[in-house]
Amino acid sequence: MPRSIWKGAISFGLISIPIKVYGATEQKDISFRQVHPADGGRIKYKRVCEVCGEEIPYAEIAKGYETPDGRMAVLQKEDFDDLPLRTTKAVDVVQFVDAEEVDPTYINSTYFLEADGPGAKPYVLLRDALVRSGRVAIVKVALRSRETLAMIRAKDDLLLMHTILWPDELRDGEFASPAEDVTVSDAEVTMAGSFIDALSGPFEPEQFHDAYREALETLVEAKLSGQAVASVEEDTGEQADVVDLVAALRASVEAAKRRRAESAGEAAAEPEPAPAKRTTTRRSTTKKTDAGPTDGAAAEEKPAKKTAAKKTAAKKTTARRTPARKAS
């Protein structure tokens, strides 16, 4: 079980809900160390004071704020703990809003909230009230030495808290918007909608995987075992400029439908090879001989044809003689 990173209470009107906060996410990326390529030795960094030249242990390092005129304010852990803020130990609910009103761009990190001690009943009360109202709670909380906005919402049996960036922490993206004179036709938008429909479906995150991380793991294993790494052929052809968007989207729709059919198992099964069927038939009708399976089958086929020809000729001769007897 992970360790809680914060302990306090949700201030829900006159109701106080003791909680513990846990990180809800973790990075699964592959971490690397800086090493010397010649011998694989790790590169280490020392924390050295520029004034006295001594190496300072991490536990003894404080935080300092330097003013524009060069003055330094040194802050210890106790200074942060004693800040005159309610949010250092309390999550203050300041508003309830519809979840759709919170732009996902503002969401920063996600945390699990666990009821602590006698907080189980008010915890369930807030959770069920949020579900019934269809709203989320906007709160203020101080986490990791800074106050932040956050959103509390109900998910299954839990309360989740998503920290929210302050408005001035979002950059202005106006520079990235297309030029105002760029337009698209109704036919292009309709075909783009068809492509969206072809790839629409329920969001199932478990069906996706991190191909880049898997490739790195394969590379590391190959390096450790001294094996060569299989290279992937790159498409060196230059991509042509898209002139007819409708034609390009129509081809994209067809390709998406094919991929969906293959992934869903709707593609037709391949037929069994014909030679296997002929071999089975011959083995079932050919008598066993001491010859090998291929030579014996060939040896038996020729006499069989001759015998069949003789029997056919005999039948024809009998058929010709029989009418002659009846006529006499």
pLDDT in tens, 55-97: 999 889 999 999 999 999 998 887 877 766 655 678 889 999 9
Is pLDDT at 32 greater than 70 in this prediction?
Answer: yes
User: Which H or E element spans position 249?
Assistant: helix 245-263
Q: Distance between CA atoms of 46 and 277, rounded to whole angstroms?
A: 74
Q: Distance between CA atoms of 321 and 328, rounded to whole angstroms?
A: 11
Tell me the one-letter amino acid at 160: L
Is pLDDT at 50 greater than 70 in this prediction?
Answer: yes
What's the helix, strand, coil split of the chain in %, to 5?
Answer: 40, 20, 35
User: What pLDDT digit, counting tens, does each position of 164-176 carry?
Assistant: 999 999 898 888 8
Enumerate the domain spans of the chain: 6-29+87-169, 183-198+244-266
Domain 6-29+87-169 has CATH 3.40.50.1100: no
Q: Which residues contact 139 (CB under 8 A, 6 or more apart)?
A: 10, 91, 92, 93, 94, 149, 150, 151, 152, 161
User: What pLDDT digit, counting tens, does each position of 291-311 carry?
Assistant: 444 444 444 444 444 444 444
Q: What are phi and psi of 260, to 5 degrees?
A: -65, -40
Is pLDDT at 122 greater than 60 in this prediction?
Answer: yes
pLDDT reported for residue 280: 40
- Strand ranges inside 76-184, DSSP E: 90-98, 107-115, 135-143, 146-155, 158-164
Tell me the one-letter amino acid at 62: A
